Amino acid sequence: MKSHFSFDQDLIDRYDRPGPRYTSYPTAVQFRDDFTESDYRVAAGRSRALSLYFHIPFCDTICFYCACNKIATKDRAKSEPYLRALDREMALQAAIFEQGQPVEQLHWGGGTPTFLNNEQMRWLMARTREHFRLLDDDSGEYSIEIDPREVREDTLEVLREIGFNRMSLGLQDLDPEVQRAVNRVQSAEQTFGSMRRARELGFRSVSIDLIYGLPRQTLESFSHTLDAVIAERPDRLSIFNYAHMPERFKPQRRIDAAELPPPQVKLDILQMAGEKLQDAGYVYIGMDHFALPDDELALAQERGELYRNFQGYSTHAHCDLLAFGVSAIGSVGDTYAQNVKDLDSYYAAIERGELPIERGLRLNRDDRIRRDLIGELICQFRLDFADFGRRWEIAVRDYFATELERLVPMQADGLLVMGETGIRVTDAGRLLIRNICMVFDAYLGQTPARFSRVI
């Protein structure tokens, strides 16, 4: 079932409020400090394929909009002790899991992974191969986040050599005024040159990351950026909403709030972007994501196999996600686990021979049921009551009687169609899918939390 981008100003005005992005359910707000390494070890007892995530926190310069866990430094030597700690963490994790399980998915994020030099990147991938069974036939989905300003003469050649076959390029906006306002100045040639070279080297998928709502951004300026991007035909695009939360994210205090586009201009930019991408042949996957019709995300959604995790939309729902490095979040069995967020604590745990887990969560049966349901809605935009009921041995209309009643006004507003057999999210409802998912969130409102707005 192909997803279409539909923009309804009236619905957005009524439903645009803060809410989770549901890269997990329950969300990270519910993680508990009493989750321990022993809980993690119990969850790791099952035998499943693996997905590995490595968080490389270092950046040469700070982007003012950034809300990621990062360490801005000019000192490249800081990466050496961090790599050694990652190696020891891998050894600790590998000892817990059954040897020989294939790593179907691998991702380096950050920060700026290419803060590492070529030999360090080769070393980290070689050590990963020592600890885990990486696939050598290029069939795995091995991806990396790229800052085009950190692409050296042979960076992409080295990345392809060590096994990467996908990449996402951070662009955000091409307009020089916007770039200066957020302290991220990069040329079109840096970005698109990297993209073209990646294709020459055989990278199977290249994604471009954009942000709408940045300071000094206008409808016209972002339209020019989008035209330039579409001309290069990336396989996927992510168009994120800039959430200005300077009280939570210190770098954002460098942004002049008076230069942010007014709310209506921000919505106009989103509408223009969605319609322009759809006209250019892109499929609206959901949330912030668009893809070409033959991209694996679009095909997985058609088959009803799309999945969502801490890295966003994915096609590997059957994998345990092992996470390495400061602040990294993994998902093993029916648990979530997050590492400590600062380097000193991370190094100290590794020195003690302990996994650097700071907090996590053991999901109960209701959590698992709701996680599955929210995943169906946010990925496939539909729910079949009979199939879901058989899967969980429940009568869906009884189990979720209160929630289904709360969906009635949304049905009246045209966000969804609900009948005896299931739920189908309409084109108008797909842009507001977070609102629909929030109806099934048993924790929402129980604890103070600051989420970004849904649009």
List pLDDT tens digits, range 172-184. Answer: 999 999 999 999 9
CATH of the domain at 112: 3.80.30.20
Number of Cα atoms under 13 Å in the Cβ half of residue 129: 11
Query: Which range of residues forms the domain containing residue 388?
Result: 1-26+364-455
pLDDT score, position 406:
97
pTM score, whole prediction: 0.94
Answer yes or no: is 352 within a domain.
no
d(CA 31, CA 12) in angstroms, rounded, equals 30
What is the sign, positive or negative, of the torsion defined by CA atoms of 99, 100, 104, 107?
A: positive
pLDDT > 60? residue 2 = no
For the chain, give percent helix, strand, coil, nearest 5: 40, 20, 40
Query: Nearest 10 degrees: CA dihedral of 93, 132, 163, 190?
Result: 0
pLDDT 10s digits, 201-221: 999 999 999 999 999 999 999
Answer yes or no: is 331 within a domain.
no
pLDDT score, position 453:
80
Q: What is the residue-averaged pLDDT of the chain? A: 94
Domain boundary among 254, 286, 321: 321
**Residue 278 shares a structural domain with residue 403:** no
**Residue 170 shares a structural domain with residue 268:** yes
pLDDT score, position 218:
97
- b vs e for 210-236, b when ≥16 Cβ sit within 10 Å of the residue's Cβ? bbbbbbbbeeebbeebbeebbeeebbb
Whole-number percent of the chain with pLDDT over 90: 85
- The confidence band for 439, taking pLDDT boundaries of 50, 70 and 90, is very high
**Residue 414 shares a structural domain with residue 289:** no
pLDDT score, position 367:
98
Answer yes or no: is 326 within a domain.
no
pLDDT > 90? residue 86 = yes
- b vs e for 366-405, b when ≥16 Cβ sit within 10 Å of the residue's Cβ? ebebbbebbbbbbbbbebbbeebeeeeeeebeebbeeebe
**Residue 169 shares a structural domain with residue 223:** yes
Give, in degrees to the nearest 5, the angle at Cα 327 between 42 and 112. Answer: 130
d(CA 433, CA 375) in angstroms, rounded, equals 11
pLDDT score, position 449:
64
Total domain count, the chain? 2
Instruction: With beta carbons less than 8 A apart as the criterion, state whether 268 and 223 touch.
Output: no
Q: Which of 83-87, 95-99, 163-167, 335-339 has the lowest mean pLDDT?
A: 95-99
pLDDT 10s digits, 372-416: 999 999 999 999 999 999 999 999 999 999 999 999 999 999 999
Answer yes or no: is 425 within a domain.
yes
Domain boundary among 267, 291, 321: 321
pLDDT > 60? residue 260 = yes
Give the distance, in angstroms, between the CA of residue 82 and the centroid of all CA atoms in the same chain: 23
Alpha-carbon distances of 32 from 86, 362, 363, rounded to whole Å: 24, 9, 11
Whole-number percent of the chain with pLDDT over 70: 98
